[in-house]
A and B are shown apart, each in its own frame.
Chain A
Amino acid sequence: MRTERAVPGLLRAAVLGLFAVFFVLPVVWLVLAATKTDDQLVHDSPLSFGSWSALRANWDALTGYQSGAILRWLGNSAVYSFAALVITLAVAIPAGYALALTEFRGRRALLIATLVVMLMPNATLVVPLFLEVNAVHLIGSMWSIILPYACYPFGVYLAYIYFGAALPRDLLDAAKLDGCSEFAAFRHIALPLAAPVVALVGFFSFVANWTNYFLPYVLLPGSDQVPVQVGLGTLLDNVPQFNPTAGAAAVQRPEVALATLLAITPVLVVFLFSQRFLVAGLLSGATKD
């Protein structure tokens, strides 16, 4: 009897552990790789720590690349992601509120359009967006990135679900009876209660925009304005081991590892700080009633 129980338990632990290794090992390797010289990367054990001085040297070499290109790219990513985030929140939360709690002409059509666009992967529209932005001569403008990012139907849907399920209507009715305008009711009653969904929409929008590659790759061709995701591709072109024609601007592999680490740090920080809350938010999204 006891062995019968113990074996599935062990098996379960083994499977869960194996996948933990699968998910985490590359991340651990990445952190360690940034502390090595290229020679150490090849010859030392893959999971050994290099040295602080090598990390320092990699940092200097990386920030020296095209006089601080990596910092420029990170800055660009930050500007695009945060600007889009602010617009998304300003636009999606009221829209979700109106869709959930009011009736107006076109409400149903807007709801369906939201669901359809939300289910379409955003890469679908990249080439069409290029054609559109090109037609109005805005290629290379940062708004050609920020505004498409800011259009975030999934955020509207989340807000719609949240207001529909979690906002007590009596509260709004009472406010209206007391002479509150629609805006005042939203501003003073709905919005303060919406903090969890504001944060959830904000997190998803930030991660989606920070990690987007295809849109800026197409809309910001070969300029100083590219975000870090596209910048990583540029670095890759200058790694001799991956591209033998890499010229004088050659980049070593540990520097690329460090650049990748820098590129993911903002998302990791945001995620680690909001982890507990995110799971709760996702769960509240999962419970329908």
Chain B
Amino acid sequence: MTTVGSRPRPSRAAPAFVAGYVTLLVAFGIVPTAYAIYFAFTDNEGAFAGLANFAVAAADFRFLPAIGHVALYLVCWLAALVVLVVALALLLHRLGASGAGRTLRLLYYLPGALAGAAGVMVWLFVLDPVVSPVGFLLRALGYETFGQVIAPGNLPVLFAAIAFWTGAGGWIVVLYGALNTISTEVLEAARIDGAGAWQTAWRTQIPLLRKWIVYMVILAFAGGTQLFVEPQLLSQASVGVAGRDYSPNQLSYDFAFQNDNVNTAAAISVELLVVGLVVAAVFVVRSGFFDAD
């Protein structure tokens, strides 16, 4: 998709152009990966340990629940992302380039500035019926205290809501951009064939967005497996309602820094890494999104 014109030509200067990047990529991408793999397969004296560290991690009573938590969270988050982001992008697209459309895109994107700890801080307040701007809603649902709202059963939905709040706007803008690239003739043809807005969206626009939706789901999935800051801050604020072992990443952190067991921590990291790499590889190979040459 990129090399439309003539093919790239050999260059003696190229190594100098990429040297800095290659150095960083090796130092902060490839070496830590190799190092984690080394740790994951050795014991604390550096001897080969086979799968022992993975067995320790898997046998830990917190491991399966942590996987379960993240799986449940991913289901909520990905479902919300696909359904709502696609729907909102289509609705916005029908508004076109009007001022209202522009304003709404900006408003939807606004919480994107609150990624990381800042967004979680805001939601700690939003979820506390005492100070929340939607306290009336929370009370109507039967929640009187912060502790009740963040009951463990609610966490997947709450984390999904936070992730959607900070992340959806960016994807809406991206999908909106992709919708703009669909030629008006195609849409015109659909209209002449008698398709309503609903059918046009379902039969014409969504299929043409497929690549972008897949890309979004893959990145959101890979990012979602890494859940850390939300449960970590929530456990800090929850007076013991939420534990510090909600997600695999928290568990890995706990092994490394509380139990002084970097080998098991590395084993969990490697497992997360494998999930990330498999997803990335499947996408690179299958989607054609990155047709490099």
Contact = CB atoms under 8 A, between A and B. Distances in A.
Whether both chains belong to one complex is answered with yes
A64 interface: no
Contacts of B286: none
B3 A164 contact: yes
A127 interface: yes
Given A135-B35, A151-B25, A213-B116, A130 B233 contact: no
Contacts of A129: 28, 32
Contacts of A124: 226, 269, 272-273, 276
Contacts of B31: 132
Given A46-B131, A131-B262, A23 B165 contact: yes
Contact of B284 (A8, A119, A147, A148): A119
Residue from A95, A101, A127, A233 having most chain B Cβ neighbours under 10 A: A127
Contact of B269 (A117, A127, A156, A237): A127
Contacts, number: 319
B253 interface: yes
B292 interface: yes
A41 interface: yes
A279 B236 CA distance: 37
Given A129-B28, A233-B236, A271-B112, A115 B290 contact: yes
B9 to A, nearest CB: 6
Contacts of A46: 131-133, 135
A100 B269 CA distance: 33
Contacts of B128: 241
A22 B108 CA distance: 9
B115 A151 contact: no
Contacts of A181: 13
A127 B114 CA distance: 24
Given A42-B131, A100-B8, A279-B177, A123 B284 contact: no
Contacts of A108: 292-293
Given A25-B133, A124-B269, A156 B21 contact: yes
B5 interface: yes
B221 to A, nearest CB: 9
Given A92-B21, A123-B226, A127-B36, A102 B91 contact: no
Given A108-B292, A121-B226, A282-B174, A94 B104 contact: no
Nearest to A210: B116
A161 B18 contact: no
Residue from B104, B118, B229, B272 having most chain A Cβ neighbours under 10 A: B118
B222 interface: yes
Contacts of B25: 110, 113-114, 117, 151, 153
Nearest to A153: B25
Given A95-B20, A116-B277, A124-B269, A236 B91 contact: no
B149 interface: no
Nearest to B8: A103
Interface residues of B, number: 115
Contact of B27 (A42, A147, A237, A267): A147
B109 to A, nearest CB: 8
B279 interface: yes
Contact of A26 (B111, B276, B290): B111
A15 interface: yes
A236 B238 CA distance: 11
Contacts of B56: none
A30 interface: yes
A156 B279 CA distance: 20
Interface string B96-127: 00000000111111111111111001111110
Interface stretch (A50-58, A192-200, A252-260): A252-260
A129 B253 CA distance: 12
Interface string A252-286: 01001100100110011001000100010011011
B28 to A, nearest CB: 4
A221 B258 CA distance: 13
The 9 closest A-B pairs by CB, nearest first: A164-B2, A182-B13, A102-B11, A128-B36, A98-B17, A211-B116, A119-B280, A123-B226, A286-B177
Interface of A: 8, 12, 15-16, 19-20, 22-30, 33, 41-42, 46-47, 87, 90-92, 94-95, 97-104, 107-108, 110-117, 119-121, 123-132, 135, 147-148, 150-151, 153, 156, 160-161, 164-165, 169, 181-183, 186, 207, 211-214, 217-218, 221, 229-230, 232-233, 236-237, 239, 241-244, 253, 256-257, 260, 263-264, 267-268, 271, 275, 279, 282-283, 285-289
5 contacts: A19-B84, A29-B126, A30-B122, A181-B13, A282-B174
Given A156-B21, A271-B109, 14 more contacts: A26-B123, A27-B122, A110-B18, A114-B25, A119-B219, A120-B222, A125-B28, A125-B32, A127-B265, A147-B27, A164-B4, A213-B117, A256-B121, A267-B113
